[in-house]
Structures are given as C-alpha cells and as structure tokens.
Amino acid sequence: MSNFLPNELIKRLSEDEHFNQESFLETHESGEKVTSIRLNPLKKPREAYDELAAVPWCNDAYYLKERPIFTLDPLYHAGCYYVQEASSMFLGYILERIGLRDSAIRALDLCAAPGGKSTLLNSYLGEKSLLVSNEVIKSRAGILVDNVTRWGMHNVVVTNNDPSAFGRLPGYFDLMVVDAPCSGSGMFRKDPAAIDEWSLANVKLCSDRQKRILAESISALATGGYLVYSTCSYSREENEDIVDWIMEGNGFESVKIDFNSAWGIEETTSTSKGAFGYRFYPHKVKGEGFFVAVLRKTGEQGSFEMRRSKPEKSPVSKVVLEHWLDNIASIQHFLHGDNVHIFPAIYKDDLRLLQDMLYIRNAGTNIGKWLGKELIPSHDLAMSVHVKADLPGQEVSLATAQQYLRKENLDRSNFEVSSGWCLVQYSGVNLGWVKVLPNRINNYYPKESRIVHL
C-alpha cells in the first residue's frame, strides 16, 4: 500500500510492536468519516437517539449514520447536543473512574475552545461544581462562550488568559484538563489538508509549547488533584514524553484507568517513569487519533486563604427573578453593567477571586437587561436550563423554527399567545424569544447567531 502519510511519522509509529501499519494506512486511505454527538442530559427534545449505536465510553453519546447539515437542525442551535469526536469523549469515562462524576469540585479546562471537553465536564461534574473554561485566543474564546451558553448551565466562568495567569491561583483547582494544542496527526483522516503541514520541527515546537503551558499553570492544581493531559497527536514527544517530563519534577503519580479491552484502546507506558497513557487509533477504535493520560498531584502544593466577600445589594427583586427562573434558592445574582447574571450561590467568593486574578469573558448566565423596573430577557436566558418552565411558549414546525433561526418575519397566526414575551419551542425545547404584538411578531433571535442562507 502506498504511503501518503509523513514517512517520519510512520517510521516512529512502527517502533511500537503493536502498531499495524497496513490497517493504519488503509483506514486513512478509506476516507471514512465518523460523526458522533453527545446529548445534553438537561435538555430533552422528543426526538429519540437511543436507536443509534452508542459510544461505549461516554454517557449520552451516539454515532450518527451520516453527517447531517447541523446548521439546519433547530436542536443543534438549542444546545440539545454537541458534535464531538468520539475518542475525545473518553474524558467522560475517566471522570467516572476517578470518582468525580456529580462531585462538588473546582475544575479548570485550560485550553477549552471550541468547548467539547468543557460541555462534557459541565454535564459530568454537574451543577455542584465550578468550571473555569479558559481559552487564550480571543476570537476562539467568543466561540467558547457561545457553546457553553447554549449548553445552558450557570456554573461556568469563561476566561481569556494565557496559561501563565493560572500561576496566580496556587492549589485552587481539584481537576485540571489540559487538552493541549498539538501537531494534529490524529486528525489526518478527518482533515487530510493537515498532512502537508506536519513536520518533525513542528512536533518539537508543539512539545516545547506543551511544556511551557504546563510549567506555568500546574501550580494551580491542589494536592490530591487530578491532571488530565491530552492531545490529538500520535507523537511520543507530545504524549508519553510530556508525561515523563511532568513526573520528573516529582510530586505526581500516574493513574491507571481500567477499561474494556474490546474497545480497542491501547494502553502505553512512558519511557522513563512507566506512566500510563491511552492511545486511540482510527483503525482500532471508532474515532480519530487521540492520546490521554491521568496524573495525580501527590506533592505538597502551597495554597491561599479565600477571602469572604459581603453580599452585594441588588435592585432586582426576588419577585422579578421568580418570574423568569425556577428554583432560585441556590442561585445568586449580580449586576454587570445593566445585565443581570445568575451564578451558583456557593461560589460567590470564588467569583470575586477569579475577577481579581483573570480576564473574565462571561460568568454564569446573563439572564437579561435590567431597565430599573423590568427585565428584558436575554437569549442566554432562553438557552438556560433554569428558565422557568411555565413561561408562555409556542411549539412550532420545522419550517417555522428555521425561519425563526434565520431571523425572518414570522406569521402571527402561528402563535396562540395573545401578547408579550414568548419562547419559541421546537420538539419541546426552547430556541429563543419573540415578542407577540396584536398584529405581528417581533423576532428576538440574536442577529450574530442567525443562520445565513446555505
């Protein structure tokens, strides 16, 4: 079989006695595309997905028979699922194995855009945890905010910082996920254009950057906390060697993850420390190339005292909040300019701390604009899993839902609500707001999110 993949890469992979070069090349040549989605457990449309083949290592995750045009699916815009590469969903299984599912921890997703791992973390850790989702590139941080907002949970702070900023928070996080920027060989099947960009020099560059990212941020992990390190590269220099490098500083132990051998995942060990790593090859698993390792911080990590902050007075009354939100007892709110945000009450002091230390792009859910006496509901509120269930709503057809998402004019006769704010719903899930007037409908779908004609 001809080899159209970089020779140097194949040569190095062949040093592994388990590596089957022929099937690896065959899979890449086949051009087979695998599409998988992970459902949002807090948004349940009437559509059933459970007849599809499940991703074995992640809850609520399925392989699609073919790739649809997601842009035309209202449920995609409603945050009912996230389109995520299946191998990388192994993070869910890891969280389950290390006992962090539904826990009350502080978690950091350091290299988070566009948000695949963050939305997974958010669902697996649940609303008792605090998730800080960081992305260093400004434009990508915006996409991260959009995806996290669509997911609808209020316990996420999206930040836009260089990893070094997290050195200001020693011992603060119980979990750090570092899904590092890498040379990308694991994505060759999905994105053949990346093949020509691959070089050994770039692998070295990525490996140096991965070390810098970790060196500058790792003090933010508490003693006993977990580091999940991953890449979509096949190169040992970016994977096992990085794990060895972390362990050289002592203070870390490798965590072994047991799994069903029928899944086709390969367990590897690093050269000098014998630390465990997990490799995903597209000819062995139904997913793309991926590497992940789990480490636990055993060394003593200095920390700091959290300051208690006084509750701020707010002009927004309980009556107003109760009108728009369910279960407000565990929610605190604060004003940011004119905007009212909700956030878990138990993390009030944490938010103050994060504001002092980091550049925050979004904290919690912005539920709307405060006009002094009334709240103008935001699109983020429509996406929130906390929006009050019995607010006026109108179920619409697929065609009307797509019209709404294009921000087109809607036919007044499709709406039974007589007047006022109304949630447009498709398959029982909220898409956004309209304002119903006696003889017309005002479409409040955000202009910047609207579907442009395909």
Show which residues are catalytic: 232
Residue count (the chain) = 454
For ligand SAM, which is the closer residue by CB, 74 or 116? Answer: 116
* Shortest reach from residue 180's CB to ligand SAM, in Å: 6
Task: Judge whether 192 is annotated as a binding position.
Answer: no
* Shortest reach from residue 86's CB to ligand SAM, in Å: 12
The CA-atom distances, in angstroms, between 154 and each of 47, 162, 427 are: 25, 24, 23
Task: Judge whether 389 is annotated as a binding position.
Answer: no
Q: Which residues contact 426 (CB under 8 A, 6 or more apart)?
A: 45, 74, 75, 78, 395, 396, 398, 401
Q: Which residues contact 429 (CB under 8 A, 6 or more apart)?
A: 43, 44, 45, 74, 75, 78, 80
AA identity, residue 83: V
For ligand SAM, which is the closer residue by CB, 120 or 391? Answer: 120
Task: Judge whether 162 is annotated as a binding position.
Answer: yes
* Shortest reach from residue 362's CB to ligand SAM, in Å: 16
Query: How would DSSP label each residue in 125-183?
Result: H-TTSEEEEE-SSHHHHHHHHHHHHHHT-S-EEEE---GGGGGGSTT-EEEEEEE----
DSSP helix, strand, coil percent of the chain (3-state; round to 5): 35, 25, 40
Task: Judge whether 191 is annotated as a binding position.
Answer: no
* Shortest reach from residue 106's CB to ligand SAM, in Å: 18
Element (H, E) at 92: helix 90-97
SS3 label, residue 36: strand
Task: Please give the distance of CA 131 from its chain centroid, rounded to a whole number.
Answer: 10
Give the pairing type, strands 393-395 and 420-426: parallel
Positions that interact with ligand SAM (CB under 6 A): 88, 111-117, 135-137, 140, 163, 179, 181, 209, 213
Contact 119, 145 (CB under 8 A): no
For ligand SAM, which is the closer residue by CB, 209 or 286? Answer: 209
* Shortest reach from residue 425's CB to ligand SAM, in Å: 28
Q: Which residues contact 28 (CB under 8 A, 6 or more apart)?
A: 4, 5, 188, 189, 282
Task: Judge whether 128 is annotated as a binding position.
Answer: no
Task: Judge whether 80 is annotated as a binding position.
Answer: no
DSSP designation for 297 = E
* Shortest reach from residue 373's CB to ligand SAM, in Å: 41
Task: Judge whether 115 is annotated as a binding position.
Answer: yes
For ligand SAM, which is the closer residue by CB, 181 or 264? Answer: 181
For ligand SAM, which is the closer residue by CB, 118 or 403? Answer: 118
For ligand SAM, which is the closer residue by CB, 111 or 363? Answer: 111
Annotated binding site for S-adenosyl-L-methionine: 111-117, 135, 162, 179
